[in-house]
Structure 1
């Protein structure tokens, strides 16, 4: 009987040992997966922050150029906006932010009072159209170009 109890105790000890080893391996695997997931999330977050920083920097550079042109009485208004290549900012939101920054920093309206004509217009398409067709805002109104862009996007 004592022998049977001793064998059972050894058997239980061995089973508990292997169960503990399996549990430890499973926990280690889960920890490793968790660390990898955190590293991926951190990398994604860092890339998003860098992209936002680059966008702000590009927006600021474009605004700097507009302000330099406007204050130096080189060019201003819609013609200056067309010369800046704003479509290269890549999104309507980024272009609108850049124009707002230009308005604040230059103290004047970059649209020269014509901003209401482009309220519902995608500015990437607008400035791409202006660039491709070499639109001269000294001879063509913002309203006419906005109407052409709206007509071509349908």
Structure 2
């Protein structure tokens, strides 16, 4: 009798595992399907402006005439300069907030964790500066009609 209960438990567990694997496979397949059917709906805002994509999609959606693409690019250039000016002006305030957040994080770390956190922050800042430098250098090459 005890062996029969163990067998039933094993069979029930096997069915549960197969069911859960089926659910996982279905979810993965559905995600892949949605990504393939409509990748734009899966896009996540990264905070970076993709000018080439914006111009292409705007041109298609609004049916901007080729002779107006130059004026569109001029408007985007002016706007970019306004954003850069605003960013330069607000950068010190962002840096203050960033430093306060880091101090709060440091306060919860032990002595062993703090040097690792400092190394992490250093690497993170270097990556951010490199991305910002690359973005500012590539701005001139983004003007593709």
Category of TM-score, reference length = shorter chain: 0.3 to 0.5
* Structure of greater Rg: 1
Pick 1 or 2: higher relative contact order, CA cutoff 8 A, min separation 6. Answer: 2
Higher helix share: 2
Could you state the TM-score of these two structures normalised by the residue count of structure 2? 0.33
